[in-house]
């Protein structure tokens, strides 16, 4: 039995009310073998409003802002009829070959100043989707294909996560969260989600775990406790430089991982989300593994954090 038969449908989900804030998202990340460039495709759909956002970013070492990136495009387009086989205004194609198992993504911009930018990749699942609540799941995947950027062509072959969610998500709420993962092998890795509780100081640079899991020998192990600490930040921008994450499985076994950011970009993929998207060299399982860290803020919280004077370095420690 395939994954699609085991877990149901991976198409658009019907909103349960007429709220304009019902939001459905799908995103994919991939990077070049040596981490020279990272790419992120973020799709957001407001079904009740009939609109969609198509966000494409490609960046390399030293990047902090979109206008310094190798490429970025953020489009507002009409809501497509299907997620299964769609081509959005602007040229991004998304084909769901087999639900929960295989996807094709392609894009090209020949009107870019300088060299064309584009990619043609296949996303194949290497594990089952793991649900966080009833309306959000993450899935380990292998991304293969080609990325063309800055006049060069790169063969893509990396292990990453894809993410889907569908729930009411307003543009006037306060939140701060983070999403960290590494996959050393298809069945060997971790994903940890962190969020600042609303009943404490949301500017403290020390986020408690809210979910995630560990992949390894045997069944998937859910995380039940842990924290993420940014040990140092770049003084000029505030972007993360050194990150430590800790997560404890339901079996009592802890995962403690330290990461060094190799390249990073600050994005605002929607009006209420500022994100530091980082490609990270994680020290995991006795080896260095390329993975991601996504640090997500409401813009007003990020501004307050920067003004607090605590955003150049962090003195918090893993407990």
pLDDT on residue 33 = 93
What pLDDT score does 285 carry?
A: 87
pLDDT at 315: 38
Neighbouring CB atoms inside 10 A of 202's CB total 18
**Quick one: average pLDDT of 273-295?**
96
- Which of these, 148, 78, 138, lies nearest to 117 by C-alpha position? 148
- Cα angle 292, 278, 281 (rounded to 5 degrees) comes to 60
Mind listing the pLDDT tens digit for each residue in 11-28?
A: 899 998 999 999 999 999
Percent of the chain at pLDDT exceeding 90: 82
152-171 pLDDT per residue, tens: 999 999 999 999 999 999 99
Distance of CA 91 to CAs 21, 32, 109, 183, Å?
Answer: 26, 22, 8, 30
Half-sphere exposure of 165 (CA within 13 A, CB side): 12
Closest listed residue to residue 185, CA positions, set 213, 155, 215: 215
Q: State residue 319's pLDDT score.
A: 35
2 pLDDT exceeds 80? no
78: left (phi over 0), alpha (psi -120 to 50) or beta: beta
pLDDT for the residue numbered 9:
74
Task: Tell me what pLDDT residue 153 has.
Answer: 97
Lowest-confidence segment of 131-135, 200-204, 314-318 by average pLDDT:
314-318
| pLDDT at 317 (0 to 100) | 36
pLDDT of 26-57, one tens digit each? Answer: 999 999 999 999 999 999 999 999 999 999 99
User: Which residue from 301, 305, 268 is spatially nearest to 66, judged by alpha carbons?
Assistant: 268
Which of the four CATH numbers 2.40.370.10, 3.90.79.10, 1.10.150.20, 3.40.50.300 does domain 22-169 have? Answer: 2.40.370.10
pLDDT at 76 over 70: yes
Is the per-residue pLDDT at 8 higher than 90?
Answer: no
pLDDT at 7: 54
Q: What secondary structure, in 3-state letters, does the chain show?
A: CCHHHHHCCCCCCCCCCCCCCEEEEEEEEEECCCCCCEEEEEEEEEHHHCEEEEEEEEECCCCCCHHHCCEEEEEEEECCCCCCEEECCCCCEEEEEECCCEEEEEEEECCCCCCCEEEEEEEEECCCCEECCCCEEEEEEEEEEEEEECCEEEEEEEEEEEEEEEEECCCCCCCEEEEEEEEEECCEEEEEEEECCCCCCCCCCEEEEEEEEEECCCCCEEEEEEEEEEEEECCCCCCEEEEEEEEEECCCCEEEEEEEEEEEEEEEEECCEEEEEEEEEEEECCEEEEEEEEEEECHHHHHHHHHCCCCCECCCCCC
Residue 304: band (very low, low, confident or very high) from pLDDT cuts 50, 70, 90: very high
Q: Read off the pLDDT of residues 251-280 as tens digits, 9 standing for 90 and up.
A: 999 999 999 999 999 999 888 999 999 999
Cα gap 252→279, rounded to integer Å: 29
Amino acid 311: pLDDT: 57
* Tens digits of residue pLDDT in 118-129: 999 999 999 999
For the chain, the average pLDDT equals: 91
CA 213 vs. chain centroid, Å, equals 16
**Surface-to-core class of residue 139, CB atoms within 10 Å of its CB (0-12 exposed, 13-18 middle, 19+ buried):** buried
């Amino acid at each position: 039995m395939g994954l699609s038969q085991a877990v149901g449908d991976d198409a658009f989900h019907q909103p349960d009310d007429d709220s304009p804030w019902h939001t459905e998202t799908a995103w994919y990340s991939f990077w070049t073998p040596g981490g020279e460039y990272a790419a992120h495709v973020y799709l957001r759909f407001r079904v009740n409003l009939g609109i969609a956002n198509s966000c494409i970013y490609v960046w390399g070492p030293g990047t902090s802002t979109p206008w310094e990136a190798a490429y970025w495009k953020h489009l507002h387009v009409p809501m497509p009829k299907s997620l299964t086989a769609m081509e959005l205004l602007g040229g991004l194609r998304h084909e769901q070959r087999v639900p929960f198992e295989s996807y094709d993504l392609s894009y090209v911009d020949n009107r870019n100043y300088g060299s064309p930018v584009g990619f043609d990749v296949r996303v194949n699942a290497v594990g089952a989707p793991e649900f966080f609540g009833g309306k959000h799941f993450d899935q380990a995947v292998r991304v293969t294909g080609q990325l063309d950027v800055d006049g060069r062509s790169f063969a893509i072959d990396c292990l990453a996560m894809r993410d889907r969610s569908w729930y009411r998500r307003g543009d006037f709420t306060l939140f701060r969260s983070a999403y960290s993962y590494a996959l050393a092998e298809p069945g060997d890795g971790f994903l940890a989600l962190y969020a600042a509780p609303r009943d404490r100081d949301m500017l403290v640079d020390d986020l408690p775990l809210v979910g995630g899991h560990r992949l390894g020998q045997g069944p998937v192990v859910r995380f039940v406790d842990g924290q993420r600490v940014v040990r140092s930040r770049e003084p000029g921008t505030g972007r993360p430089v050194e990150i430590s994450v800790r997560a404890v499985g339901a079996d009592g076994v802890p995962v403690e991982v330290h990461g060094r950011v190799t390249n990073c970009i600050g994005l605002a993929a929607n009006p209420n989300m500022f994100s530091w998207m980082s490609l990270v060299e994680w020290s995991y399982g006795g080896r260095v593994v390329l993975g991601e860290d996504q640090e997500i803020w409401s813009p007003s919280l990020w501004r307050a954090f920067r003004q607090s004077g605590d955003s150049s370095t962090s003195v918090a420690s893993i407990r």
